[in-house]
Chain A
């Protein structure tokens, strides 16, 4: 048991601190959520890439820093940037999902064409996986791509596409082999967002913000060379980067930060004098502390090359529920003020608590609902049998 990082890493930490001291004025102000697409942010991203603090393992010949994988260094970078309240650069789906995919499955030409502009924030991507009919059953997607000459012709409808309006390209899963089995008929395509026949409709959320979009394809032509991997290999290609290792500690860090802010709300509202609210705060503190050390345990397993087993499956389920509950407590502590929303007079923290309360509920749903996660925990984690599959029964008669 050792919670220190050791001298080599502490030296690395000092380097980062020096870097931050020297360069912090060049950084744009940090924001919640995905980093915005601004010239200032792109300049900052360039500096980070050049110094190896962003996309550090991307090889030099594709415009990266070419460092070796080192999970602890990645974590220390995150810690120091967070502590200094300096933006850690662009957190886009292009960087977190497409680039690793290209590095593993892309052709040399594709790598040279897309990686560098992506990591430097010049080329923005959006993700086209989910579909309205598929929902939790992602592999049930129906958007079709049929070969016609040198192109695929794409028809269908994607949903939950964030940054669709800002993106120049989409990486998408489409069905190219309708006769194959569900998971074997999918291909991974890169689609230009300027394509004729492609239409974007913003999707307004419960919170009032349009954080997502729907994207419609009506005979959209995509060059055949824009496929990553082979035809029918798309499920494998897309699945490989669904899990972001970078965020392994992110979830529990986020909960810790939220709990701290929530305690501040309670303190300011005098709610710590209300024993009931204080009691709830301590319940949440215990859950948060447990998730914090649970994450450290997962990290240790990772560092030692061990599989965390079933214990690795619960982070998301617990994290979203925990964050949702922290928001609920903050709202309760504010009393009637708890229902105010962004833009109102006297609203606290710019309405953050209500919108996070809703957003976390959305996360409980998004990316594999809580129900599906419980299925996985019981099946993969505890070895319980799968639901019997009976497509015909249980449907409406």
Chain B
């Protein structure tokens, strides 16, 4: 493809994952003040990306499909080398409690704090704050439930951080999305009542 080198330059310079449809659109439109290839199709871009992926492999680079787009990165086996570069830092990993909260939100979004707490059995305000701060979850709205609690969902950065193409790629997603969750509003045991009380107050926004 005569536009293959444009494709690689675009992927190299992009600061976020690039969707094939957007890459095709840019190739069709052409550069600033120049001519493009008006006939480029998304499927051709996908084919070229597959070839690029193979060409990158022996070169210490990989093409990842994350968060709905494609992004060039360094090969995982070279991480020990790359980490030695100045100014290159691995994003810190999430703690086990934060990962649990993350998992509940990822599978059950949009979800309120009280609902997450009903699953985990512990106060989650701290881990929710951490996750919002890290940019992997965000407030997506308010529930219609009493007290109109704030609802959380995942962000595109969540997909990128965990190397996921989309939410469908979450392991066992079908099953975990179906599981009946302990409802925080169900007046069952003593613990549940505590949560109801909490959930009836407007949730603090971090």
A and B physically associate: no
